[in-house]
Amino acid sequence: MRIDVIGRNLEITKAIKDHAEGKADKLPKFYDGVQSVRFTITKADHHHKGSFDVELVIDVEKHDDFVSHCKSEDVYGAIDEVVHKGSRQLAEFKEKLKIEKR
């Protein structure tokens, strides 16, 4: 599985990248067809303190990409929340596939 962490108006540090990759590694347990995960982290303000916009795009087999967004003052909290939203989307999709097969 490919994991990309992209920063816009922000330099991605090793700690941010490791945190995002650690969270993304847990996504295949919700649905096995995950092919790639892309985090796009944007800092809204150019000042020392600002809000972060995090977008998560999950590419899966035989379905359109799943997209989640989150805004927060804390980049780590935003990553956690966006991964939670993405995992919920994957779990609901997997449940939908199970119901259709019955």
Residue 14 predicted with pLDDT over 90: yes
Closest CA to 41 of 66, 17, 14: 17
Q: Note the CATH number of domain 2-101.
A: 3.30.160.100
The backbone torsions φ and ψ at residue 34, rounded to the nearest 5 degrees and listed phi first, read -70, 125
86 within 8 A of 66, measured Cβ to Cβ = yes
Residues 43-73 have pLDDT tens digits of: 987 666 778 999 999 999 888 999 999 999 9
Residue-range domain boundaries for the chain: 2-101
The encoded tokens of residue 72 equal: 């927060």
More confident residue, 101 or 11: 11
Angle, helix 75-101 to helix 14-24, in steps of 10 degrees:
20
